[in-house]
Structure 1
């Protein structure tokens, strides 16, 4: 056989290897993945990115089969990723390939380094990192190389942590995730779980061996557990495509990196628009709830917003929206759940969201209607005070501009967490505003206990004291003392927030970059 005159034989082998890599774990396993109602990692990437924009990196990494030193077959590593564009914006995207070894990492190969290389690339290129996670943290078969491996020998989480300091991390729990893969999901700035998704430190077989407990993956770590109960996952998706839509929506509110501002989106919705319904949305009866999300829809551009953690810590809403085209993070108490009182869960939710907004230079608007911290034995057992002060700590140290609209109640320590007293502290109230250190109803019973108990008619005396104090709760008296910056017509709220955002973004343009770490959270 004559020697080739060019490199076509090697190019032919290259093309064959790429063709084999596209088969992933083989036709049978790919079909099985889809029969279970799940997309493959290549399906997910194709559904996410702009057509034709995916540029794979490391596609030739894997396991070759040879006979007499001749190449015969190829199995790719269980991780696929590369550069792409999403809605015209550059991103790094990747994820475990569950059709190859269940997506499990083999620490005796370079699979780990491939996934972490992509995280480093996102940081280096200063573009968002989007990952579809589905797989186990490690493959026990890797111990067959003759020795065990110390977990601390591998910098598994460092690349994600370092990337997250500079770029948005958007992670999906697209199937069962365990161990290190599950832990990496937790590092995302936004996380979403599909109906087939599950997340746990150790799966059902490990639970059975360690605890003797028979349990399904859904019972152990499905959406009902981690979206609604633990709050470990931000949002639930109805299916894989909904998860992808949520990832794209979240990204639409984020800057490319911490060195840029969030994207402005021109709108035909007039900034000065006034909604008559705002004048009556807060009931005159102080104890009657109302729909806070309806109120927010009346304020934001085209009534559109994206809520984060809607099923967790439900006494507060946290969401992204735009007003006059500007991105804004909104924290709004939910008077329909426990009157909007701050619980341990809602405090964690609020504090994390504030830190997220601060990290990516998104101004924050509080829409406050909060009676205070939740009270009672359960509240104390769950550490509401500690968690509540974490929320306060986050707001106090936030460097982005903060604007507060008080629609009704604003009491106690939870009320303090709805404004940044460490900065300019710009607050406006509606005429329905009702604030103080403690609600009069409960405060009178505590402060005037002896006087009430010694009265001939204790209930009558209590009502007399409450009625006397109510006259001083008029919000206009607070405005007279410049104890609040303004009382506004509720219909003008959108225009007030818009003017705040105009000036806020001028300020933000001078403070871009990585935020310094400050102190230790309570």
Structure 2
């Protein structure tokens, strides 16, 4: 029998009421501030007409400290699935127009149901965070809700990619869900994230601070390292999400979206040669090298403002999705420090768990010396890089561009740390330390009172480079597969990646390794 018009009209009315959230006035107020409403963020993310909403009619009536009951449409969150570039993606978007986007029992249940669906279906999860935090009047139910969401974040980790967008406030315990996800994007100006705000800090410690110092996008992108990308506004954030997804597989059982039909250019690129300074002491901008190696010079840098002495990015080389880790000699001479080690290790482990090959570009003089670094735990943090590379089973190609000294040589994925292919440029140096430092240690007494100490020191340094540090020494001992012209770098990497696409590696059975956190 046909559905009556009254029932259809009732359904339409209910849908419209739910879609308005906190009401048209509140949505317009957000527009006036340059912000999108919760539902509009999802509409911008997904292909038109592909969004299927979960829990549209979910409602929770709550009492505010003895006041009248208040109806919360959708319980302040929009959840569901849609398609991005032809692939399904699960998402939730907190609705600040309803009870400030606060999280309660039903709110958390909707998010958890969506994440469960994503794990069963093997699809990425995107979360738009815009919430005042736990719903105080629900008491322990709201805390339980956060615990359930956090647990889902952990269960989904390494199974499907998780991307968080901080579009508004993300305070207190709410910040831990994004922190448990793979990537965080925060909008400049409107987004903030903190455990304790300025007023709480001042009351508890007497310290005077501002939101810009502790919770802003710039603070988290450049100082704390908590976020990976800064967006100018909501639409820019959605654009970053889509760009990021274009490099990622849907789940850990799938291959990344390689384009195997892409033309594999094997011609030499003389412009890479031109990037190498004549003076070995002059820094090279590794981003310019990356531009010459990757398809169309296009790459997506991750945490570009944090620990800029190392560059981590996604790109394609001859159509193969690749994660690139590169020392940046233009910053701190490319040394590895605490923050650079953490940044690289996290990126390496993400690439490994989602089957993304790794290319490592090496120009490193060592770990950064200093009391602050030693007392801050550089040994522990540096060990994270060693662990990350050693535990990775994806294809790994390393190019030693100019120098690779000491433990940093190993930390940048030497052959002993599991690199499948290692190339070196002519003139590169691979050694325990730089020639000048080695001469000072080995011949300190001999040169102490010598009349021609400076001249003799230079001669010994040149001899050290020739006998111990030049790439042919390492190649002769099979630590380097080949010494190549810089102009051949792209073609060597492209051929290597294609040959390693079917790589399989078996490791000893264990629950998981114990990374030095």
Structure 2 length as normaliser, TM-score?
0.91
* Equivalent pair of 1:282/1:432 in contact (CA under 8 Å): no
> Relative to 1, partners in 2 of residues 1:148 and 1:58: Cα closer, same or farther, differing over 3 Å?
closer
Local SS of the residue matching 1:421: helix
* Equivalent pair of 2:310/2:336 in contact (CA under 8 Å): yes
Q: 2:103 corresponds to which residue?
A: 105
Among 305, 308, 311, the residue aligned to 1:314: 308
> Relative to 1, partners in 2 of residues 1:121 and 1:149: Cα closer, same or farther, differing over 3 Å?
closer
> Hey, what's the Cα distance between the residues in 2 that align with 1:24 and 1:152?
21
> Hey, what's the Cα distance between the residues in 1 that align with 2:392 and 2:383?
14
Q: 1:69 corresponds to which residue?
A: none
Q: 2:434 corresponds to which residue?
A: 439
In the TM superposition, 1:203-214 aligns within 5 A as 203-213=197-207
CA-atom RMSD in angstroms: 2.7
Local SS of the residue matching 2:148: coil
Q: 1:28 corresponds to which residue?
A: 25
Matched, 1:232 2:229: no
Matched, 1:41 2:38: yes
> Hey, what's the Cα distance between the residues in 2 that align with 1:468 and 1:479?
18
> Hey, what's the Cα distance between the residues in 1 that align with 2:202 and 2:110?
32
Q: 1:86 corresponds to which residue?
A: 84
Q: 2:483 corresponds to which residue?
A: 487
Local SS of the residue matching 2:301: strand
> Relative to 1, partners in 2 of residues 1:371 and 1:7: Cα closer, same or farther, differing over 3 Å?
same
Q: 1:463 corresponds to which residue?
A: 458
Residues 23-44 of structure 1 show CA distances to partners (whole Å, capped at 9, x for unaligned) of 1111232222222222111111
> Relative to 1, partners in 2 of residues 1:294 and 1:267: Cα closer, same or farther, differing over 3 Å?
farther
Matched, 1:194 2:191: no
Deviation of the 1:321 alpha carbon:
0.7
Local SS of the residue matching 2:168: strand
Deviation of the 1:246 alpha carbon:
1.1
* Equivalent pair of 1:21/1:75 in contact (CA under 8 Å): yes
Q: 1:371 corresponds to which residue?
A: 365
Among 503, 512, 516, the residue aligned to 1:517: 512
Aligned pairs, number:
506
Q: For structure 1, list consecutive stretches of 5 or more residues without a partner in the other structure.
A: 66-71
In the TM superposition, 1:59-98 aligns within 5 A as 59-63=56-60, 75-98=73-96
Local SS of the residue matching 1:322: strand
Q: 2:138 corresponds to which residue?
A: 142
Deviation of the 1:459 alpha carbon:
3.7
* Equivalent pair of 2:38/2:93 in contact (CA under 8 Å): yes
> Relative to 1, partners in 2 of residues 1:410 and 1:10: Cα closer, same or farther, differing over 3 Å?
same
Deviation of the 1:371 alpha carbon:
0.7
Residues 442-478 of structure 1 show CA distances to partners (whole Å, capped at 9, x for unaligned) of 2222333333334455444433432332322332343
Local SS of the residue matching 1:110: helix
Q: 1:246 corresponds to which residue?
A: 240
> Relative to 1, partners in 2 of residues 1:361 and 1:43: Cα closer, same or farther, differing over 3 Å?
same
Deviation of the 1:213 alpha carbon:
4.7
> Hey, what's the Cα distance between the residues in 2 that align with 1:480 and 1:23?
70
Deviation of the 1:104 alpha carbon:
1.2
Among 139, 154, 160, the residue aligned to 1:167: 160
Deviation of the 1:258 alpha carbon:
0.6
Q: 2:66 corresponds to which residue?
A: none
Deviation of the 1:294 alpha carbon:
1.0
* Equivalent pair of 2:55/2:74 in contact (CA under 8 Å): no
Among 277, 289, 295, the residue aligned to 1:295: 289
In the TM superposition, 1:319-398 aligns within 5 A as 319-398=313-392
> Relative to 1, partners in 2 of residues 1:375 and 1:154: Cα closer, same or farther, differing over 3 Å?
closer
> Hey, what's the Cα distance between the residues in 2 that align with 1:167 and 1:366?
25
> Hey, what's the Cα distance between the residues in 1 that align with 2:253 and 2:438?
47
Q: For structure 2, list consecutive stretches of 5 or more residues without a partner in the other structure.
A: 63-69
> Hey, what's the Cα distance between the residues in 2 that align with 1:240 and 1:160?
23
> Hey, what's the Cα distance between the residues in 1 that align with 2:453 and 2:345?
41
Deviation of the 1:291 alpha carbon:
1.7
Residues 322-361 of structure 1 show CA distances to partners (whole Å, capped at 9, x for unaligned) of 1111111111110101111101111111111110110101
Structure 1 length as normaliser, TM-score?
0.90
> Hey, what's the Cα distance between the residues in 2 that align with 1:128 and 1:471?
51
Q: 2:47 corresponds to which residue?
A: 50
Deviation of the 1:280 alpha carbon:
2.3
> Hey, what's the Cα distance between the residues in 1 that align with 2:331 and 2:72?
56
* Equivalent pair of 2:37/2:95 in contact (CA under 8 Å): yes
Deviation of the 1:320 alpha carbon:
0.8
> Relative to 1, partners in 2 of residues 1:166 and 1:20: Cα closer, same or farther, differing over 3 Å?
same
> Hey, what's the Cα distance between the residues in 2 that align with 1:19 and 1:152?
27
> Hey, what's the Cα distance between the residues in 2 that align with 1:194 and 1:272?
41
Deviation of the 1:479 alpha carbon:
2.7
> Hey, what's the Cα distance between the residues in 1 that align with 2:283 and 2:408?
18
> Relative to 1, partners in 2 of residues 1:446 and 1:518: Cα closer, same or farther, differing over 3 Å?
same
Local SS of the residue matching 1:135: coil
Residues 479-508 of structure 1 show CA distances to partners (whole Å, capped at 9, x for unaligned) of 334342110122221111111111221125
Matched, 1:502 2:495: no
* Equivalent pair of 2:262/2:319 in contact (CA under 8 Å): no
Deviation of the 1:7 alpha carbon:
5.8
* Equivalent pair of 1:198/1:222 in contact (CA under 8 Å): yes
Among 405, 424, 449, the residue aligned to 1:411: 405
Deviation of the 1:265 alpha carbon:
2.0
> Hey, what's the Cα distance between the residues in 2 that align with 1:433 and 1:457?
28
Matched, 1:15 2:12: yes
